[in-house]
Amino acid sequence: MRKLISKMATMVRGKDFEIDSSIPTSYLLNFSATYLVSLARGLLILRRKVFLSRSCEFRCKNRIRIGSYSKIGNNCYFDALSKKGIIIGESSSIGPYTRIECSGTIRDIGKGLVAGNNLGVGAFSFFGCAGGVEIGNNVIMGQYISFHSENHIFSEPNVPIKDQGVTRSGIKIGSNVWVGSKVTFLDGCQVSDNSVVAAGAVVNSVFPEGVIIGGIPARIIRKI
């Protein structure tokens, strides 16, 4: 059983994978059954080799492309109405209760989300992708991450802010980035390759490659 599951996991992940010898056989059986059911659900609903958990909702499904052997947690919500839709690469994992919204209004649809392979997103995260969110390969994120890729205009004091429109610059995250839990990304920010974002940071600027950033607002703590 262990060897079979290890071989299957190696095939899915594309690299050697060994199961911890202390895991009980009963747990492995339940684990395997859960994944087989979720794979069947992904083939049925998304027509893709995706491990799809329970109670997920997809809108504008024809604009959603999720790479093979990715995992979508329970109670996720994807609304792909946008110019680029939702594109997530292979072997990615989206935590439960994550919400991805690509357009805030049907009067002016947004740009969408484009993410590379091996993306890992923790539970209860939010992606506001109207201004466009781009994420590279091998990016891992903790829980409660939020992206806000547009800003409200508030220059006219006699006009309600909700009626003044928005600006959109987009958000870009490079490859090989580790994002701690409860980080907020604001419109126009950019985190370059090989970087770390400390938990709780509010990122609103453009940062170079190979740095650790943190704080409110985020600043460079040190180079890696």
Q: Is 0.85 surpassed by the pTM of this model?
A: yes
Q: Which residue, among 121, 77, 124, 74, has the nearest Cα to 101 in the 3D structure?
A: 77
Largest CA distance in the chain: 69
Residues 6+ apart with CB under 8 A from 85: 60, 63, 64, 65, 102, 112, 113
Other Cβ atoms closer than 10 A to 31: 13
Q: How far is residue 198's CA from residue 192's CA, in Å, rounded to a whole number?
A: 14
Q: Give SS3 for 65.
A: strand
14 pLDDT band, cuts 50/70/90, is low
Query: Model confidence over 164-210: pLDDT tens digits?
Result: 989 999 999 999 999 999 999 999 999 999 999 999 999 999 999 99
